Structures are given as structure tokens and as C-alpha cells.
């Protein structure tokens, strides 16, 4: 007997979206955590709000606004972070706030226009369409192809930037490639799963994986796996308890992180 939950097409789409999002965020999130870019990734995600307001103000589609806004903000934040590491958190925090504020004000200047900003915070994973799943699949293929092609160089840069420079690896270019991956992941997932869930899946699964392994490839695999577990569990709780899916996934992920910390303290060995 098939459980009732699997008889609904929208839930099947949600589970598929959770798996695809977990792969994208697991791979990119590992690069975010290893390279200590969590705050920058959060800044890009929230600055993308400005793109939503710009798109509404100019009568563009949301993607037409978020793509340039997220790309420009990611490169600006990245440039600041590389040139002035001691003050980068302050500048990123300011750009984070400016992006969100600008987006809201631009929407205020658009009489009669309404957009549910909360939907961009927590998303609506249970309403993901087949076309949305296709976009996520394309994003995953792009991420996997890029990381596979540049894996050795990214590995060297992530763990020993000075050694990478000595070896002639274009560290600066790779740094901006990672920022591009962050920006495109945010852009493609913002409407489906929301900014907060993207940030959570960027950081929590990868942070758990880092507790148990320092191998970059294993971290990516573990991060994707943890993300899938959190997403599926959160969706099940959301369905049976009739609560918000995105928030459920985040709480499950946070619980998983707490359990992982306790397990590490009790002497669970690394892999």
C-alpha cells in the first residue's frame, strides 16, 4: 500500500526539488564553508532582494532583476573581502542591508504592485513546478561540470592558497568562479526554496561534514547526503504536522547539527 503522501504530485515534486537543491547546496556549500565565505554567501542572498525590487520597478521578470543584482553584489563583496579582510564583514553587512532596503523601497514606488516577500524568504518548495525542477537539474549539471573540471585547482586554493599561487594556479580567478557559483545558486533557488533555506543548506550540511572529514570530495558527498535527509525529513514533518515546509527543513537541519556536535564530542571518528 503506497502511503498517501506519495499519491500527491506536488509532494513528489517537492521531494525531487529537495534532492536537487541538496546536491547544489551541498557542493557549493562545501566551497563556502571551507573557504570561510558563509557571511559573504548570506550577503549575496539578501542583496538579491534588491534585484526583486528593481525587477518590479522596471516591469521586468524577477530573474531579470536578481541576476545582475546578485552578480554585481557578489563581485563587489568578493573584491572587498580579498582586499580588506579585516573590514570585510562590516562592508558585506552594509551591502546586505542596503540590498534588502532598496528592494522594499523600489516596491513601494510601484503602486498597485504586490509581491509576497515572505515567499522569497522561506520559498514554497511544495509548489515547485516541472519547469522549476528542470532549472534545478540544469543548475546541478552546471555546478558538477564546473567543480569537476577545476577540482584539483579548487582543492589547492581552498586548503593552501600560497601553495596554489606558487604552483601557478589562478587563485583570484578561481575565487570569482566560486562567487559565480554562489550567485547562480542563489538566483536559481531563491523563488523555489527561499533565501533562508538556501543559506541554511549552504552552511549546515557542510559544517556537519567538516566535523567528520577534511577531504573535499567526501565533504561534498556527505553535505549533499545530509541535505537530502534534512529536506525529506522536513517535508514529511511539514505534511503530517501541517506546518511550513521551509521552516521545518531548517529546524531539522539545526537539530542535525546539534546532534553532530554531540556525536563529535563523544568521540565519533572522522572518515
d(CA 3, CA 16): 17
Q: What angle do CA 103, 108, 110 make, to 5 degrees?
A: 100
Diameter of the chain by CA atoms?
61
Does 267 map to a domain?
A: no
Q: Which triple of cell numbers denotes residue 227? A: 541535505
Query: What local confidence, expressed as pLDDT, does residue 114 receive?
Result: 56
d(CA 155, CA 26): 16
Q: Which triple of cell numbers denotes residue 193? A: 526554496
Does 87 map to a domain?
A: yes
Does 270 map to a domain?
A: no
- Measured over the CA atoms of residue 188, residue 193, residue 194 and residue 200, the dihedral's sign is negative
Query: Domain limits at 17?
Result: 4-262
d(CA 49, CA 117): 9
Does 244 map to a domain?
A: yes
Does 58 map to a domain?
A: yes
Q: Count up the domains in the chain and report the number.
A: 1
Does 268 map to a domain?
A: no
Does 248 map to a domain?
A: yes
Query: What local confidence, expressed as pLDDT, does residue 161 receive?
Result: 87
The model's pTM: 0.91
Query: What local confidence, expressed as pLDDT, does residue 117 receive?
Result: 63
Is 18 within 8 Å of 197 (Cβ atoms)? no
Is 226 within 8 Å of 207 (Cβ atoms)? no
Assign residue 91 the CATH number of its domain.
1.10.3470.10
Per-residue pLDDT in tens (0 to 9) along the chain, 271 residues: 567 888 889 999 999 999 999 999 999 999 999 998 888 888 888 888 888 888 888 888 888 888 888 898 889 888 888 887 666 778 788 888 888 888 888 878 876 655 566 677 777 899 899 999 999 999 999 999 999 999 999 999 998 888 899 999 999 999 999 999 999 999 889 878 888 889 999 999 999 999 999 999 999 999 999 999 999 999 999 999 999 899 999 999 999 999 999 988 877 666 6
Is 250 within 8 Å of 203 (Cβ atoms)? no
In sequence order, which residues have a C-beta less than 8 Å from that of residue 217 and are 6 or more positions away?
Answer: 151
CA dihedral 247, 252, 253, 257 (to 10 degrees): 140
Does 269 map to a domain?
A: no
Query: What local confidence, expressed as pLDDT, does residue 265 receive?
Result: 83
Query: What local confidence, expressed as pLDDT, does residue 216 receive?
Result: 95
Amino acid at each position: 500500500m503506497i502511503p498517501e503522501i506519495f499519491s500527491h504530485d506536488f509532494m513528489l515534486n517537492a521531494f525531487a526539488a529537495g534532492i536537487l537543491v541538496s546536491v547544489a547546496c551541498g557542493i557549493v556549500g562545501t566551497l563556502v564553508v571551507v573557504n570561510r565565505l558563509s557571511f559573504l554567501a548570506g550577503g549575496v542572498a539578501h542583496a538579491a532582494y534588491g534585484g526583486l525590487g528593481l525587477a518590479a520597478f522596471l516591469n521586468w521578470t524577477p530573474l531579470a532583476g536578481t541576476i545582475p543584482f546578485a552578480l554585481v553584489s557578489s563581485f563587489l563583496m568578493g573584491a572587498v573581502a580579498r582586499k580588506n579582510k579585516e573590514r570585510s564583514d562590516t562592508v558585506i553587512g552594509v551591502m546586505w542591508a542596503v540590498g534588502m532596503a532598496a528592494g522594499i523601497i523600489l516596491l513601494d514606488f510601484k503602486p498597485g504592485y504586490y509581491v509576497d516577500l515572505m515567499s522569497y524568504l522561506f520559498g514554497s518548495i511544495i509548489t515547485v513546478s516541472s519547469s522549476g525542477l528542470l532549472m534545478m537539474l540544469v543548475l546541478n549539471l552546471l555546478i558538477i561540470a564546473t567543480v569537476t573540471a577545476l577540482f584539483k585547482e579548487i582543492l589547492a586554493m581552498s586548503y593552501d592558497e600560497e601553495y596554489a599561487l606558487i604552483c601557478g594556479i589562478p587563485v583570484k580567478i578561481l575565487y570569482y568562479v566560486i562567487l559565480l557559483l554562489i550567485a547562480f545558486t542563489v538566483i536559481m533557488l531563491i523563488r523555489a526554496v527561499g533565501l533562508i533555506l538556501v543559506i541554511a543548506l549552504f552552511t549546515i550540511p557542510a559544517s556537519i561534514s567538516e566535523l567528520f572529514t577534511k577531504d573535499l570530495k567526501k565533504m561534498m558527498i556527505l553535505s549533499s547526503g545530509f541535505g537530502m535527509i534534512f529536506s525529506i525529513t522536513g517535508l514529511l514533518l511539514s505534511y503530517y504536522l501541517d506546518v511550513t515546509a521551509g521552516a521545518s527543513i531548517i529546524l531539522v537541519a539545526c537539530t542535525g547539527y546539534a546532534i553532530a556536535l554531540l556525536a563529535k564530542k563523544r568521540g565519533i571518528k572522522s572518515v
